[in-house]
Amino acid sequence: MYVDLAYTSRACAECGHIDRGNRVSQAWFACRNCGFVDHADRNSSRNIRARAQELWRRGARSTAPAPPRTPRSGAGRKRSITPSNARCASPTL
């Protein structure tokens, strides 16, 4: 399920209050509304999980972009054709 990550690091996972000041540092989150304190990444992941669960509950389809396609080995390659009278450049023993 694709979840929009906008403001997940600024939103409180407990009360939902969004404020730039909630993100105390790179590592810590402290809500200015309810006082909830947590590791910033854990708080963000809780917000992402809650958004995904809500989308899943509503039956939304994923809008995640498809991963880039990688060519299979050997598929679509052109073989180099050498003339039958070509000699190998390796030294003779």
Domain ranges of the chain: 1-60
Q: Determine the Cα–Cα distance for residues 73 and 90; give it in Å rounded to an integer.
A: 28
Q: Determine the Cα–Cα distance for residues 59 and 80; give it in Å rounded to an integer.
A: 52
pLDDT digits (tens, 9 = 90+) for 74-90: 555 555 665 666 665 66
pLDDT digits (tens, 9 = 90+) for 6-57: 999 999 999 999 999 999 999 999 999 999 999 999 999 999 999 999 998 9
Confidence of residue 65 (pLDDT cuts 50, 70, 90): confident
pTM here is 0.64
- Write the single-letter amino acid at 80: S
- Write the single-letter amino acid at 7: Y
